[in-house]
Amino acid sequence: MKILVTGAWQCTEEQLNIIRNMGHEVVFMQNEKDRCPVDYAWIEGVICNGLFLYHDIRKFTSLKYIQLTSAGFDRVDVDYINANNITIYNARGVYSVPMAEYALCGVLQLLKNTRFFDENQKKREWVKNRSVLELCGKNVCIVGCGNVGTECAKRFKAFGCNVFGVDLYPRQDESYSVIYSLQDLTSALSKVQVVVLTLPLTEESRHIINAEALASLPDDAILVNIARGGVVDTAALIDVLSAGKLGGAVLDVFEEEPLSEGSPLWGMDNVIVTPHNSFVGDGNSQRLADVIMTNLRGN
């Protein structure tokens, strides 16, 4: 197979040679926005992330294989890919561990009010805080029970939480006490102290956390979004937070990125804002390489 590899995969020359030794021809392209180094018709397979945001997929007339370095499929035309019998893989499981650790860390920061102690440390002030809370015993709802969601469930369960899920395809899973249907989302949210969003962004899931869903949450609930910004109605979330009707939010993704300097989310004491960074981890490189090599060997 003739493969275009982009800089979305920070591979080594040794890894490229392994692919060549499988019998594939390889061309490397560092920046996905750049001009393609070969004729589009030459390319039969790609290893990329946002390549098709800058290069029309219809120009790749010989394309039969796509390996994404992302977990989401929102940067590719899935309908076109399916209609043209193109095999596509995502980075399934690659980023689940750091994302789950991030979700747990963010919730603990809010419950333990670490921002208060951090500010006092900077001022060298010895001030106790009697309002910190425990995570143990809390009801945690994972919305989207795929790899990322399940890694989150395992960690919250280890902290003594009652973890249940909401998913398009309910199933029995030892990591959850129960997994509800997506139709039961509002009812499920009414029972939680923590809700973690890990579901993919689709037309059906866009703004699934809207004013109605937010109103169903208890006033002390913490919302964590490590999915995509578009699954949350940002304006509705800001309204709820501004009214003091939510315990807090841990937000790593936003409808518009980067987050505007003028967004009120930056200045809210009970909101943790990070720049789409939850997926970063020192084990990602090896996990991604393993996924890529395994999928190539199977094709």
Tell me the C-alpha to C-alpha distance, in Å, between residue 60 and each of 44, 46, 162, 206.
Answer: 8, 10, 48, 29
276 part of the active site: yes
Which residues are registered as beta bridge partners of 273? 251
Tokens of 32: 């996905």
Q: What gap in Å lies between CA 3 and CA 20, rounded to an integer?
A: 10
287 part of the active site: no
DSSP, collapsed to helix, strand or coil, labels residue 174 as coil
Half-sphere exposure of 59 (CA within 13 A, CB side): 11
Contact 217, 192 (CB under 8 A): yes
Q: Which residues contact 105 (CB under 8 A, 6 or more apart)?
A: none
Of 24, 155, 228, 287, the catalytic one is 228
Of 92, 206, 207, 276, the catalytic one is 276
What sign has the CA pseudo-torsion 109, 261, 282, 284? positive
Q: What gap in Å lies between CA 242 and CA 9, rounded to an integer?
A: 40
Q: What gap in Å lies between CA 169 and CA 154, rounded to an integer?
A: 19
Helical (H) or strand (E) element with 53: helix 51-54
Tokens of 82: 């399916």
For 202, which DSSP code? -
Tell me the C-alpha to C-alpha distance, in Å, between residue 179 and each of 96, 124, 174, 229.
Answer: 19, 46, 10, 23
Task: Name residue 245's amino acid.
Answer: K
- Which residue numbers are catalytic? 228, 257, 276
